[in-house]
Structure 1
Amino acid sequence: MKLSRLEAEIAPVILERGEAYREEGRIQYLEEESPGVYEAEVDGSDDYYIEIHLESTDEVVFTSCDCPFDGPICKHVAAVLLELREELAYAADRRVSEPEPAFGVNLPDALAKLSKEELIDLLLQFSSDMEEVKQRLKLKFQDAGSNSAMGQYQKIIRSSIKKHADGHGFVSYRQVNGAVEGAELVLGKAEEELEAGRLLSAVIISLCVLEEMLELLQACDDSDGTVGNVIEASLEMIEQAAEQPDIGTYVERGALFAKLLEASSFAELDGWSEWRIPLLQAGRALIQTPEERAAWDNQLALLEERERRDSSYSSYWSETAAQLRHDVIRQWDGEEAASSYMQSLLHMSVFRKKAIEQALAKQQWDAAMKLIEEGEITDTKAGYPGLVDKWRKFRYQLYQLTHQIDEQRKLAEEFALSGEYDFYTDLLKLYTEEEWPAVNERILTVLGQPKARSWMEDALYLRLLKEQRDTKRLLAYVRENPSRLAELSSYLLEEHKADVHQLFTEYIEREAMQASNRSAYRRVCDTIRQLVKADGSEKALAIVVKLRMMYPKRSAFLDELRQVKLS
């Protein structure tokens, strides 16, 4: 069977189901384990293990899948074959596009020996034969300020997109990297303009990239965030232009400000409001006149209203917009006006945080405590435990600054019991050597209670047990959480070797009973290998023999067991 003829050699219904599995992302992994031998795992009604052997990049000589389908090719194998064909084609394209190494040739010296006419002929030939060279040369010599420049940039960007799109104009996940190559080339031109101090053209080019990538985002699978990364790179370029040290004296500053305000209204940004923020931030840095301040204020208010009407209106947008307005008020109206504005927005956590920090810096302890307590009460009622913790940590900071030791101890212990190691170490410093053992024992006892621990509490409890070599509690923990046995066995072997081996045996037998596919069988065998490492070769041999006798009809399991080295 040939990869290039899958459509002719696999039943259409099977191929269609395989393509659906592939498009749904059900292929968990696909790797070349040895030359020509590929292994994969596909998520179906269970996890199925697939093996494929290729004699060449096109000839399939062996396929297998441990699913119950009894036909020649199942949908799981079909999905992997389709994926493999695309991966190999992509790799071949990359090899073709990479230049061959010039063995024995010093390229700079060789080029230096050519005449001007020969160099021109060489470049023209390369630009004729290779589209990327042609695009790079056009970008190099394009006058960024010319009327035709923008059309040229769009053409380069769209050419890459079209090249990697399917017949319906959609760019699949694996083609996205190629589709953005043109945008990345154009963004390089924007960087050249920025470095040359031509800020307006740098921004205009970056905005061109931004618009084109926002359109691409609607017609591609950007699961890896490749297109989003290019968008963010273009926004970063714009911010760098606006933050230049001498921007206030830049002759085209006003035009730049107007261009950014206009861009913040791009219809393509609807649904991507977080990308409007950098444009507004860059515009804020350029404000120099009352008229510009008023225009910026009006634009922010307009966008706020638009976002508020959006069902996905978020606290991120409202808080960020308020921070931008606060910065403008402080710049134009002074600290008193900015402080008054901040006090009106204490319901926003970012402004309550600023107000608390200012009160602490000015040693206004009562004012700081009032802000903290109000935050704790408000956010407890609202059901925001993360914010409540933030205000309680400010309370702890206040206790530190005012040397309230008893209050520090009480609050630090509460944080430690919620899994925060830094507060545990703080607590240690707040007690004498004589007092500490009793406190430590109390913490370990509470953390070790048989209850549902959060992941932070669990992580802290384990960390303390390992640091203090508390093997008795560690053994009890492993009995409760046998899946952690392999990870923790090294801490227990010296004092509890027999218990460790027994726990391994029980855990392996239980997992083997529940295993039903090759992936699960592999996990069982990996645990057997951990038992061997834990000085349990004899126990491992005994359990392998027992498993072979218990499951003589599980051929995939027996195959995995044969690969376990018992010494």
Structure 2
Amino acid sequence: MNLYNFMNEIDETILNRGLRYFKDGHVLGTKVLSNGWVEVLVVGHDDYTVSVQLADDGTILKANCACPYRGGPICKHEVAAFYSLSHSFTPKESPLASLLKSLSIETLVAELLKVADENPMIYERLMAYQQPQDQLATFERQLEEMVAKHIQFGHEISGKAVQRFVDDLYELLGQIKEQASVQLKVEMMLLCREECEGVDNQIDDSDAIFSEFLGELHAQLQSLIFATIDYHQDIDEVYSLLMSRLQKNDAWVDFELLDLLSEYGREPRYLQPIIHYIERMVEVVEEVKGSLYKVWYELLAKYQEESLEAFLERHADVPVLTEFRVEQFVSQARYEEAIPLILELESLEENRFDATWKLYRYTIYEKMKDIEAMKKLAYELFVQGNFDYYGKLKKLYGEEFPFIYDSLKLELRQLDKQELYLKMIETEKDQEALLAYVKEDLRYIERFASLLWDTFETEVHHLYEQYIKQELMKVSHRSGYRRICAIFRRYRPFTTDEAYETLIHQLIAMYPRRRALIEELQLLLHELEEESSNQHVEQLSIDIA
């Protein structure tokens, strides 16, 4: 790692924090020591000294900081120091450099030809010194040849063939990274991107290998664009290149390119042409008009916030901007103006089964302290399945709630909101409603027996018996009989030994030909006998004691 490439070796989060420290003037001074050591004073929450040992060529041999950071090998103070040193460091000329400068051009050419002949990597490095246009043409030819090798027109590739194709694409991406010119790198990546888009429909990407490569390509492009902006490397050239590609087609919008270009919006001279492009395209490409308005809004929100209000006012009739107008009104406490817009959003077909905006409207009513509106909406939200609003309803209605409760019971039954109804009456421990429901559907005796037992002991006993008999009529094999016996065991705490045994004998008598059933029921009798015997022994022990 050296002062010219450390940006590629350090975690991106730490790198960005260190760069911000450097740009904000946290590096206060540098002190040169012996043996290549330099001390850099960086001010953060405290004053920290960063010690860096540099080789003559700018290689970072050692670095350490006095700060307490232990989250990784390098801290933001060290990164800030590296940026500072990279601006002031002058490498010393090595003996080899001095020797090469003393040789004639003829001798150097002859020696380089020999070395390049023996080492393909040296050959590639030297060929990189071609003129950019020559290099671009060479790269384009390589790219086309590589694609033609893997994909024939009209034929689809899949599996390992896709993997081989992607491996070659990654190799080309590696070549791009070695280029010195940022502009050239961007042009090559755009060529690669276009070529990939051209064959996308011929690739079976079930394993998402190709998609993963496209994601990496986009990330690399984004990283290059950040570099042009942060370090002003080929910034105008790359911006012009991206804009020309974006404007090449008037019939559709390349949103990925537009996303890349939006990073330039931090500078007004770049922002305005992007906005003019969007303004023109919203009138041309109807099917993506909504998406373009969103990008337009996001650009202004990020880089030109002062013009947002006028923008939203001017485009008040654009549906996709409605949610942004809501945000604006709410942030300004203009709740009365926000409510109609929220209702408008709720009415959209895509929000028909989505309660998000209704939930948001409730929070607005809370801010407004509009109790009547809160009551009405909480009722509606609860009936639609949002049980969290049941507690809010009880609190809002207070002493009047019993009347609302009766209304809810009636409405939920009419709407067939079974689970919501059950959850409500279970929460209220409404035994009469629970008992009535179990009588309608015996399956629920298992769920509600414990809630009903203290008041309706006899009813629980009879309903459980009916339920067991009902379920037994549905089965005719051993696994089904075992399920019935499992119900019996759950029924056990809600009956007496005598009634339990009587029901078992009753069922044995009812189905004398079902041998498997009788065997399973006899196991229950055996369990009952064992339990009674154990209880008798325990009682004797107590009596003796």
Higher alpha-carbon Rg: 2
- Per the normalisation by structure 1, the TM-score is 0.48
- Per the normalisation by structure 2, the TM-score is 0.49
